[in-house]
Chain A
Amino acid sequence: MATTRAVLRGKSAVFEREGQRGRDGLKRWLGPDYRLGFLFVLPIVALVLTLVAYPFFYAVYLSMTRKYVGVPPVFVGLENYWKLSHDGFFQRAVVNSAVFTFGSVGIKLVLGMGMALVLTSKIRFRSFWTGVLLIPWVAPTVVTALNFLWIYDGSLGVLNYILVKVLHILPQGVGWLSEAGTAMASVVAVNVWRGFPFFGISFLAGMKAIPGELYEAAAVDGASPLGRFRHVTLPGIRNILIIVMLLSTIWTFNDFAIVYILTKGGPGGTTMVLPVFTYEMAFGAQRLGEAIAAALYMLPPLAFVIIVLARYMRRGRK
C-alpha cells in the first residue's frame, strides 16, 4: 500500500514536472499571460469575425455577383464595377461625395480652429463655453437633420423668415433644399454644424498641451500673433490636426442620415452622395450586387486613409 502510494506520488510528481515544462513551453510560444489574454480578447475576436470580417468578405464576393433579393447570386466577375464606372449617375455621386466631403471638412477645419483659438484666449467661464459649443456633437444626428429640414422649409421655414422679413436681405424665400443651386451648400452646412465642435475640442486639447514657455520665447523674439500661431501653435497640434482631418474625412464621406433625411439625394441628383446611392440601389432598386460594388468602389482610397490614420493614432498613444 505504502509503496504504491509512493510510486503514485513519484509518478504524479513526474507528471507535474512534465506538465510544468509543457506549460512553460506554451508560455514561451504564446506569451506569459496567454491564458487570461486569450480569454479576455475572445469576445472581441468572435465579434469582429462574425459582424465585421465575415460580412466584409461576403460583401466583396457579392459585389462580383448578380444578386437580387430572394434569388441566389450568380457570379459575374468585375461586371458590376465595370458597369458602374460607365454609369453617369454613379460618376455624379462620386463627384458629389467629393464636394460634400472636402467642402465640409475644409469649413469644419476653419471653424474648429477659430473655436479652439477663442477658447484658449483670455475669457471667463471657459468650461461653460466649451460645454455648450460641444452640444451639436452629442445631439442625435437625425434630430439635427429634422431640425434643419424644418428651418430650411421653403414656405414656412424660419431661415427664409429671418432673411426676408427680419433682415430684408432677400426679396423672397428660397427653397434651400429643393433648388439645385442651394441644395448642396445647405446639406454641407448641416454637416458642418454638427461636426465643427469635434474639431474645436480636439484642437483645444492639443493647444493646451503646448508648453507656455514656447509662446514666451516667441514673444521675446518679437514674433507677431500670426507668427506665434504659425511657428508655435500649428507645429504643436500637427498630429492632432492630421488625425482629426482624416477621421472627419472618413465620417463625412460616409454620412448617410443627414443627406438621406434632408434631400434623399435630390433635387435631380444634385446631392446624391455614395452612401445614399448605395442605399437606394440596394433597397429601392433591389440590385444588391451593384449596390455593394458601389459601396466598395471607394475602398482603395478609403483603405489608404484608414491605414495612414491608424498609424498616426497609434503613434499618438506612444
Chain B
Amino acid sequence: MTRRARSQVAGARLQSAASYAVLLTLLVIVIFPFFWMTITSFKNEDQMRSLVSMFWPSPFVTDNYRQLLGKTDFVAWYKNSIVVAVSSTLVATAIGTIGAYALARLRFLGRAFMASAVLITYLVPPSILFIPLYAQIRNLGLADSLTGLIAAYPSFTVPFVTWLLMGYFESIPEELEESAMIDGATRFGAFYRVVLPLAAPGLLAAGLYAFTQAWNEFLYALVFITDVKLRTLPVGLSTFITGDVYGWGYLMAGAVLTTVPVIVAYIYLQRYMVEGLTAGSVKG
C-alpha cells in the first residue's frame, strides 16, 4: 500500500467516525426531551421534588395517568382533538384532491392565477389572520364550537394539500388518461379510475400532514374556544401549567398521550411522509 492510499483509508475512517459522532450527538439531542417526558410521567411527586434517581422513575408509578384520565377533562379533550383533526382532514383532503387535479391537468380560464393564489394562501401565516378569522367564524355562528375549528382548519390545510398534490398529479404521465379517454372514459372517469389510484401514496402523505397540522394546531384553538370541555389537546395541556411541582407529572403523562398518535402514524408511514415533506416545499 502506498503512503497516499494508506492516508486515504485513514482519512475515510476518520470521516466515518466523525459522521457517527455527529449522528449520535444529534440523536441524543432529539431523543432526550421525549425520554425525559416519558420518565417524568412515571415518577411520583416526592421523587421529583427530591431530585433523586433523576434519570429513572423510582418507584415506578402510574398515578399520573390515573389522575390525568380520572380527574381532569383530558379524555374529553382527546375526543375533541380526534373529531376536529379527522373531520377537517377529510374535508381538506377531498377539496384539495379535486382542486389539485383541476389545477394540474384541466385547461380552463384562470387556472394559472388560481394556482398562484393557492400557493400564496399556503404561505400567508395564521398570526396575521387569526383575529379577523375569529370574527368571521363568529359571524357564521360557529364560535366556541368544534364545528368552528373544523371549518377554520381547512384554511391552512387545503392550500398545503392542494400544492402538494399538484406536484404529484403533474408527475403522473398524461398519456394514461388520454388512452383511457380514447377507450371511452369521460374526463371524470379517467380521473377517478386511472389517476386517483396512482396518486394514492400522495393522498396518504397529504392526508397525514393535514391530520398532523390539525392535531398540533394551537393558536386558533386557543382563540376560538372558551368552553373548558370543548378544548383540544394542545390548548388543554397548556392550561395544566401551574408553576407547581405537583402538576408536572400528569402534564407529562398528557404530553406522552398527545404525542403517541402522531409518532405511531409517522413510524408506520415514514416513507410517504418524508417524500411528501420534500415534495410539499421543494422538488429535487
Judge whether B125 and A147 touch: CB under 8 Å: no
Find chain A residues with CB under 8 A from B114 CB.
Answer: 41, 44-45
Minimal Cβ-Cβ distance residue in A for B118:
A44
Minimal Cβ-Cβ distance residue in B for A242:
B282
Judge whether A33 and B107 touch: CB under 8 Å: yes
Find chain B residues with CB under 8 A from A143 CB.
Answer: 37, 234, 237, 255, 258-259
Judge whether A37 and B248 touch: CB under 8 Å: no
Tell me the bound Cα distance from A282 to B167 in angstroms.
38
- Known contacts: A48-B121, A121-B16, A198-B277. The answer to whether A156 contacts B49 by CB under 8 A is yes
Q: Is A55 an interface residue (CB 8 A)?
A: yes
Q: Is B9 an interface residue (CB 8 A)?
A: no
Cross-interface CB contact of A52 among B12, B121, B259, B273, cutoff 8 Å: B121
Q: Which residues of chain A (152-187) have a CB below 8 Å from chain B?
A: 156, 158, 161, 165
Q: Is A275 an interface residue (CB 8 A)?
A: yes
Q: Is B56 an interface residue (CB 8 A)?
A: no
Minimal Cβ-Cβ distance residue in B for A289:
B131
Q: Is A106 an interface residue (CB 8 A)?
A: no
Q: Is B223 an interface residue (CB 8 A)?
A: yes
- Known contacts: A37-B111, A140-B216. The answer to whether A44 contacts B251 by CB under 8 A is no
Q: Is A144 an interface residue (CB 8 A)?
A: yes
Minimal Cβ-Cβ distance residue in B for A299:
B128
Find chain A residues with CB under 8 A from B105 CB.
Answer: 33
Tell me the bound Cα distance from A254 to B123 in angstroms.
11
Q: Is A283 an interface residue (CB 8 A)?
A: yes
How many Å from the CB of B39 to the closest CB on chain A? Answer: 10
Interface stretch, picked from B60-68, B154-162, B199-207, is B154-162
Judge whether B234 and A55 touch: CB under 8 Å: no
Tell me the bound Cα distance from A247 to B282 in angstroms.
10
Q: Is A56 an interface residue (CB 8 A)?
A: yes
- Known contacts: A30-B109, A140-B216. The answer to whether A51 contacts B123 by CB under 8 A is no
Cross-interface CB contact of B54 among A29, A34, A40, A161, cutoff 8 Å: A161
- Known contacts: A47-B95, A132-B27, A147-B255. The answer to whether A205 contacts B278 by CB under 8 A is yes
Tell me the bound Cα distance from A133 to B28 in angstroms.
10
Q: Is A1 an interface residue (CB 8 A)?
A: no
Q: Is A105 an interface residue (CB 8 A)?
A: no
How many Å from the CB of B32 to the closest CB on chain A? Answer: 8
Q: Is A316 an interface residue (CB 8 A)?
A: yes
Q: Is B284 an interface residue (CB 8 A)?
A: yes
Q: Is A317 an interface residue (CB 8 A)?
A: yes
Interface stretch, picked from A11-19, A88-96, A307-315, is A307-315
A side interface size, CB within 8 A: 102
Looking at chain A's contact residues, the main secondary structure is helix
- Known contacts: A36-B102, A40-B101. The answer to whether A146 contacts B238 by CB under 8 A is yes
Judge whether B120 and A33 touch: CB under 8 Å: no
Cross-interface CB contact of A114 among B22, B159, B282, cutoff 8 Å: B22
Judge whether A156 and B48 touch: CB under 8 Å: yes
Minimal Cβ-Cβ distance residue in B for A314:
B119
Judge whether A135 and B263 touch: CB under 8 Å: yes
B 266-284 binary contact with A (CB < 8 Å = 1; else 0): 1100100110011001111
Q: Is B33 an interface residue (CB 8 A)?
A: yes
Which of B115, B215, B259 has its CB near the most chain A CB atoms (within 10 A)? B259
Tell me the bound Cα distance from A315 to B34 in angstroms.
38
Q: Is A139 an interface residue (CB 8 A)?
A: yes
Judge whether A254 and B263 touch: CB under 8 Å: no
Judge whether B103 and A41 touch: CB under 8 Å: yes
- Known contacts: A30-B109, A36-B102, A41-B99. The answer to whether A47 contacts B255 by CB under 8 A is no
Judge whether B127 and A275 touch: CB under 8 Å: yes
Tell me the bound Cα distance from A34 to B114 in angstroms.
13
Judge whether B106 and A123 touch: CB under 8 Å: no
Minimal Cβ-Cβ distance residue in A for B153:
A51
Q: Is A31 an interface residue (CB 8 A)?
A: yes
Judge whether A250 and B125 touch: CB under 8 Å: yes
Instruction: List 11 A-B residue pairs with CB atoms under 8 Å apart, sorted by A's residue number.
Output: A34-B108, A41-B114, A44-B99, A48-B159, A134-B274, A139-B263, A142-B233, A147-B33, A256-B218, A296-B128, A310-B120
